[in-house]
Chains A and B, each alone.
Chain A
Amino acid sequence: MAARSTGSPWRTALLAPTGLAAAAGLAVLVLLVIFGPVIWGADATTADPLSLSQPPGAVHLFGTDAGGRDVLARTMTAARLSVLMALAASVFGVLCGVVVGSLPSVMPPRLGRAVVSIFNFAIAFPGLLLTIFLSVIFGQGATGALFAIGVSIIPVYARLTHTLSSSVGGRDFVAAARILGVGKVRVVARHILPNIAGPLIVNASVTAGGALIAFASLSFLGLGVQPPEFDWGRMLNEGLSKIFVNPATALAPGIAVVLAGIVFTLAGETLARATGVNPGLTHRLPRWIPRPALPAGNVLDDVSGNASGDAVLRVRNLRVAVPHADGWREPVKGVSFDVGRGEVVGIVGESGSGKSLSCLSVAGLTDFPLKVTADTIVFDGVETLRGEHRPAGVSARAVERLLGTRMAMVFQDPMSSLNPSLRVGGQVAEAGFIHGGLTRRQAWAKAVRRLADVKIPDPARRARQHPHELSGGMRQRAMIAMGLMGNPALIIADEPTTALDVTVQREVLSVLHDVQVDSAAAILLISHDIAVVTGLCSRVLVMYQGEIVEEIATADLVAGRARHPYTRALLAAVPTMDTDRSQPMATIAEVPA
């Protein structure tokens, strides 16, 4: 959710505590790299034979090393070599990694697969082991270490690039470019790399932190920087032999390595937030103006529903607010409706009309930072919302239990509403032992019966399967079965058949219909398909830009007695099996977002 009080994500990311710390840390590092050797260089290399291995004191804050040189000055001076070497190794490794990782997209498939298996094989080695192995090959010294670390970064980056490119490469705009005959190299450079640059850059800064530590490790082992030159790793190496005599000589470079590593990681995190790769947790919401408190007692009853008196669901003046950069916007602007017991009501409207959001709010399924308010929502005789909160005297647990057992939800995409890693039966049974007081075994048995109720053949076997083993229609029926584990008074079906073929659509709708007839549950059917809604519902609510613009009996709608111009336009825009082919289709002007 884009909930930020300032326009630019960069500013928000930088002003967060992480961003401020990263910026300050980077500034210090840059200053040290540029001016460190200039300021402390002389002190760092001047040996003072009169003060060998001094403990920390007023003159030498971190003492002196075995050569009588000031440890603090050496640490500050070593920053340039340590940081620059780490950066050079990362830049080399990352650039080569991106090139190698892009090769499979450019090469013939067989050769590409060979390249992929080579870098996958290289990844199997522990990173440091590979680095040490390479540094032995490249030889001791700073240059050798630089290439050793750089080369060991390549496979990691190659794989990252390859994985990201594969996911972007499957998208339609890449297919469109290939159809146009755009060359493979150009496709990579123009269509793939710009779309994966964000995560690559973020990871690069974390890699730089890793390279810094790897470099220190190599120098510490004596494989990296050689005397008389020195970096933090080399200083650690020299300080360690005197660790019991003078711990400060090892401590100072150690602290420097840790701090610099943290700065790189913080910088990566800030980049991630600013580029949206990893949205931060800190949202500054626009100021919320609470709605005036409502008088206790009866709420005004101003809706002309045919569900007089005994409504299973009563919603009055429901509003949903979403935070935006410039304040709160209301995708649902004061919606009121009733659903009678056993009634089948349809909600039609275009995407963004607020139809799904209204129903999610009724079911209590909206999340932070959305704000849901209503004069009242009464479900199955219990008021679940008054103003901004639950009314006093109604416990959260009671509402949860009520919604869990008496309200069922069926969503559009059954593949994402079922957990792919759990068996279907267990998921259907869940409501039974959470709300129904059944043991797991009883709940499972009941789940199998419910799967049979929704006409899933061989339900005992299907219950033991995972969602991917079921067809789309069967998954959707399993969702309905899940709702039937309680004793639903209302089934909210949000575009339940949109993702299905027409023949399967009819099966799923027939199950819904039979459930409604046999259990007398009411149904609230959200759909963009007017034919489906008029075929199943007795009453239709038409939503447009967050409001119910018309409430009409299906018979009247079908007979052309709709009063609101939007309803008439919507009806005219639907192509049917009787549309006049010689005329242009009726259209509705697009509303600017």
Chain B
Amino acid sequence: MNHLEFRNVSVAFGHGPRRFVAVDDVSLSVPAGKIVGLVGESGSGKSTLARAAVGLCEPSAGSVLLDGVQVSHARGANARLRQRIQMIFQDPSSCLNPKLTIGQSVAEALDAAAKRAGTRTGRAQRAAETARLLESVQLPAARAADLPAALSGGQRQRVALARALAAAPGVILADEITSALDVSVQGSVLNLLRHIQRELGLGILFVSHNLAVVRYLCDEVAVMQSGRLVEHGETMTVLDHPRQDYTKTLLQAVPRIGEPLFAPATGMIQISEGAR
């Protein structure tokens, strides 16, 4: 049971005339064991929604629920429950503390999970668990002693995934996690995420602007525009039969391999007189 639910969530920044509503009354559910894709253009509020789930910003209205328990604005036990929602970020160069070895970064998450469960882990047990997690994201356990600078971007994203897994999560929020990676590396990260998700039955909210990636990975797709959720449904239904004009526009704008982007000339441009 790891069901994440956004109930009428709004997130606003600033006050008075400078108040800006980034997320406007969004209700969305990420069922246990499902991958929900969240697409939209930059500034549509999709990342803000994800950040509101983990408490990096709090909803100004509405609530975030995990298995029916309100975790937004929570303290005490409910705040600890919120730690079952973990997040992976876009930028591989900033996701790990450059001064800690990757083993230390993963161990920190293990400690957090242990503290939540009220148990204590010994040094040896922690090292063994770190090694197991690194291997589960296809990194040799010996790399635990490395600093992030010694890793490639794709490897760092995998460490970030291992750290999230170390916290014994029920739901993972993946915010544009492959946007900064090369396509070749992107493939391996996607495969890994899918493999782990199936193995652990995690719910994942996969935030991305790349429709092809979302189509490949996700069971459901939600489309955001200017802070509002405009369309939500089963992936192939939404992508093959979009109901909203905005979704259609997004789909049409995706360049496809082998399709010329333009007819010979759109003819709208006239280079004005001058040096020509």
- Which residues of A approach B to under 8 Å, CB–CB? 171-173, 175-182, 190-191, 194-195, 350-351, 436, 446, 449-450, 452-455, 472, 484, 486-487, 501-506, 509-511, 513-515, 517-519, 528-532, 534-536, 554, 558, 569-571, 573-577, 579, 581, 584-588, 590, 593
- Cβ-defined contact, B257 with A182, below 8 A: no
Main secondary structure of the interface of B (DSSP, over half): loop
A-B interface, 5 closest residue pairs, ranked by CB to CB distance from nearest:
A558-B258, A588-B184, A585-B187, A535-B261, A514-B269
CA distance A534 to B260 in the complex (A): 7
Question: Do A518 and B265 form a contact, CB below 8 Å, given A181-B112, A558-B257, A579-B212?
Answer: yes
Q: Given the complex, which residues of B lie within 8 Å of A570, measured CB to CB?
A: 183-184
Q: Give me 19 other A-B pairs in contact (C-beta within 8 A), A455-B269, A570-B183 excluded.
A: A172-B94, A180-B108, A180-B112, A181-B115, A182-B108, A194-B97, A453-B269, A501-B41, A505-B253, A514-B267, A518-B271, A535-B257, A536-B262, A558-B257, A574-B257, A577-B212, A577-B256, A585-B186, A587-B188
Question: What residues on B are CB-neighbors of A171 within 8 Å?
Answer: 94
Assess A529 versus B56: contact at CB under 8 Å? Given A172-B91, A570-B183: no
List B contacts of A579 (CB < 8 A). 212, 215-216
| Bound form: Cα–Cα A50–B105 in Å | 73
Q: Which residues of B contact A (CB under 8 A)?
A: 41-42, 54-56, 79-80, 83, 85-87, 89-91, 94-100, 105, 108-109, 112, 115-116, 152, 154-155, 160, 163, 167, 182-188, 190-191, 194, 209-213, 215-216, 239, 249-250, 253-262, 264-272, 274-276
User: Are B271 and A484 touching (Cβ within 8 A)?
Assistant: yes
Q: Which B residues are CB-close (under 8 A) to A593?
A: 152
A511 adjacent to B269 (CB under 8 Å): yes
21 contacts across the A-B interface (CB closer than 8 A): A173-B95, A179-B83, A179-B87, A180-B83, A182-B112, A351-B182, A501-B41, A503-B249, A513-B265, A514-B268, A518-B265, A518-B271, A530-B257, A535-B259, A569-B184, A570-B184, A575-B213, A577-B212, A579-B212, A585-B188, A588-B184
Q: Are A506 and B261 in contact (CB under 8 A)?
A: yes
Residue in B90, B216, B258, B275 whose CB lies within 8 Å of A585: B216
A172-B94, A577-B211 known; A179+B54 contact, CB < 8 A:
yes
CA A517 – CA B260 in complex, angstroms? Answer: 14
In the complex, the answer to whether A514 meets B256 with C-beta atoms within 8 Å is no
Residues of A within 8 A of B253 (CB): 502-503, 505-506
- Determine the chain B residues whose CB is within 8 A of the CB of A531 once the complex forms: 254-257
Across-interface contacts of B213 in A (CB, < 8 A): 575
Which of A179, A436, A455, A515 has most B Cβ within 10 Å? A179
- Verify B257–A534 contact, CB threshold 8 A: yes
Given contacts A194-B99, A502-B254, A558-B258, contact A179 B187 (CB under 8 A): no
* B116 smallest CB distance to A (angstroms): 7
> Which B residues touch A180, using CB under 8 A?
83, 86, 108-109, 112, 167
A508, chain B: closest CB distance, angstroms = 11
A574 to B213, CA, bound (A): 9
**Pair A590/B215 contact, Cβ less than 8 Å:** no
- Inside 8 A of B90's CB, which chain A residues have their CB? 172
Q: How far is the CA of A449 from the CA of B273 in the complex (A)?
A: 9
Question: A588 — nearest CB in chain B belongs to which residue?
Answer: B184
**A194 and chain B: residue at smallest CB distance:** B99
Q: Is the CB of B257 within 8 A of A514?
A: no
* Bound CA–CA A517/B265 (angstroms): 7
Question: With A502-B253, A505-B253, A576-B256 as given contacts, are A585 and B266 in contact (CB-CB < 8 Å)?
Answer: no
CB contacts (< 8 Å) of A350 on chain B: these are 182-184
Q: CB-nearest residue of chain A relative to B99?
A: A194
CA distance A530 to B183 in the complex (A): 10
> In the complex, what residue of chain A is closest to B41 when comparing beta carbons?
A501
What is the bound-complex CA distance between A446 and B271, given in angstroms? 11
**Residues of A close to B270: CB separation below 8 A:** 453, 518
- Interface centre among B89, B98, B271, by most chain A C-beta atoms within 10 angstroms, is B271
B89: chain A residues at CB < 8 Å are: 172, 175-176
Residue numbers in B under 8 Å from A175 (CB-CB) = 56, 87, 89
Q: Which residues of A contact B42 (CB under 8 A)?
A: 472, 501
Contact of A181 among B83, B255, B271 (CB under 8 A): B83
CB-CB under 8 A from B254, the residues of chain A are 502, 531, 577
A542 to chain B, nearest CB (A): 13
Knowing A449-B274, A486-B275, A515-B269 touch, does A590 contact B184 (C-beta < 8 A)? yes
B162 to chain A, nearest CB (A): 12
Most buried by A among B105, B160, B212: B212
From A178, A509, A569, A576, B55 is in contact (CB under 8 Å) with A178
| Cβ–Cβ contact A581 & B216, under 8 A | yes
Q: Bound complex: CA of A504 vs CA of B254, how far in Å?
A: 11
B116 with A181: CB separation less than 8 A: yes
